[in-house]
Amino acid sequence: MKTSHPAAAALFLLPLLWASATQAADSLQSRYGLLSAQPSVESKSYGVFLDGRRLAEAKADDIRLYRVTPHGASEHIVVEAWSPGLHCQYRYFILTIEKDLSVQRSPSFGECQRLQSASYHRNGALVILSSNGPPPKTESFAWQGGRLTKQLRN
């Protein structure tokens, strides 16, 4: 009886695992439908979709979606866009989905920082980011009524 070699099987599976990892995108269920991030075939970008309808696009090598706990009729989604680089790989924007499925997108913010938290705040979203410095700092960004404001925390 012939047995297969485990190393040969691992080498065969490695390209399959890598191929599926590069196609991986984030998705989450919102109160208004399934949100998903999907890579664009044409360019180095990702589209963010709600039940197949494109809501936004971002130049990035990967996208992650974070849902802010909903209050009221609006749904707030923090989008983390990642691109390779020596120092500044991350940037963020917020999508607000209303009950009538209209969407607002914040300007991009938080380049060179990492997401610490996101929460509901005064009919909008509050995102707290941090950087390792020098010097280390934490910043908060509030998205409310179509306006993004920044405040240095320390």
* Per-domain residue ranges of the chain: 24-152
User: Rounded distance, CA 137 to CA 140, Å?
Assistant: 10
Preceding amide of 136 cis, omega within 30: no
21, pLDDT greater than 90: no
Res 152: pLDDT: 62
Tell me what percent of the residues of the chain surpass a pLDDT of 90: 53
| Over residues 20-42, mean pLDDT | 75
pLDDT band at 37 (very low <50, low <70, confident <90, very high): very high
What is the overall mean pLDDT for the chain? Answer: 81
Length of the chain (residues): 154
Sheet containing strand 53-59, edge to edge, reads 27-30, 33-39, 45-50, 53-59
More confident residue, 10 or 88: 88
pTM: 0.78
Contact 95, 64 (CB under 8 A): no
